[in-house]
Amino acid sequence: MAAAICGYHACKIMLHGQRARGAGEVRGANVTSEPTPLLRVDGVELSFGGVSALKGVSLDVRPGGITALIGPNGAGKTSLFNVVSGFHQPDAGHLIFDGTDFTRLKTPKRAALGIARTFQNISLFPGMTVLDNIKLGAHAHLKTGVIEAGLFWGPARREETELRAEIERNIIDFLEIDHIRKTPVSMLPYGLQKRVELGRALAMRPKLLLLDEPVAGMNREETEDMARFILDLQEEWGVTILLVEHDMSMVMDISDHVVVLNFGEKIAEGAPHEMQRHPAVIEAYLGAEQDVA
Ligand SMILES: Nc1ncnc2c1ncn2[C@@H]1O[C@H](COP(=O)(O)OP(=O)(O)O)[C@@H](O)[C@H]1O
Ligand SMILES: [Mg+2]
């Protein structure tokens, strides 16, 4: 298939072509109305002692899209992810997923809703194999529980076997990591470890995937591979993506909406090419001595 061999720039063009031909996006009377956001962040505040990390941040993540969250270091991007995934409880504001307020929901229940994430710094069990790390993500959805499943007994054993087969078939194939499925994660190069972490998040069968700097520290080839996986997830798996990334060429190429944070506040949002030229965005990055282009 062409998508399997092209770089992500070419893929995006091809995928846009598919979108243009698709029949699903415009339906009758809803032509001009906005779809219900999959995630709504409404007036979220978060502080650590005297440091105000998020100051009344509101944003919507459109279903089916790739939304990028950008901003200089310390802007509050990871803090926002931590609030959405349940690591931090906001001091004020609301979180709404597909119309349901989940502000007070515990982290595992958020996973069951369909929210999964990867971390800015890889968070895998280095001594465990690729397959075992990925399987850990799937336990969020097991009815019988991790301990019972570990005993390989009765319904738990059946569920475990089915789960394993599904993971091997779908995720390992998709991420092209069949050859390393029995390899301990610690023996893999960085780019592949990031791919395994994506696999673990996918095992949670997310509707919304939060990716915190998925290509940070990667070389060009690894970056292009990851960008292609993200595009395929959106287009073929129907996963909605919220992406924090400093690689601006990737943000410009694969996202369809960009939200800009600076010092814990949303300073702009819009189409990627608009944000690249937006005076407040350029000023924020210049102030931080980082480059937006
Ligand atoms: N656990 C924490 N304890 C104290 N301060 C924190 C913590 N996490 C983040 N911060 C502070 O919150 C602000 C936003 O940080 P962060 O969300 O990591 O920014 P970004 O991901 O945009 O670089 C920074 O000033 C940071 O130092
Ligand atoms: Mg961060």
Report yes or no on 9 lying in a domain.
Answer: no
- Is residue 13 within 6 Å of ligand 1 at its C-beta? no
The span from the CA of 22 to the CA of 16, in Å, is 10
Percent of the chain clearing pLDDT 90 (strictly above): 65
pLDDT, tens digit (0-9, with 9 covering 90-100), for 166-178: 776 789 999 999 9
The pTM of this model reads: 0.83
Report yes or no on 232 lying in a domain.
Answer: no
Range of the domain at 159: 115-205
Which of these three, 159, 185, 205, is where a domain ends? Answer: 205
Strands of 257-262's sheet, edge to edge? 115-118, 208-212, 240-244, 66-70, 257-262, 265-270
What sign results for the dihedral spanned by CA atoms 255, 222, 39, 82?
A: negative
Report yes or no on 258 lying in a domain.
Answer: yes
- Is residue 255 within 6 Å of ligand 1 at its C-beta? no
CATH number of the domain to which 275 belongs: 3.40.50.300
- Is residue 262 within 6 Å of ligand 1 at its C-beta? no
Are residues 134 and 278 both part of a single domain?
A: no
Ligand 1 nearest-atom number relative to CA 88: 1
Q: Give residue 80 CA to ligand 1 midpoint distance, Å.
A: 10
Backbone angles phi, psi at 268, to 5 degrees: -170, 160
Provide mean pLDDT across the span 208-231: 94
- Shortest-distance Cα residue to atom 24 of ligand 1: 74
- Shortest-distance Cα residue to atom 9 of ligand 1: 79
Are residues 151 and 197 both part of a single domain?
A: yes
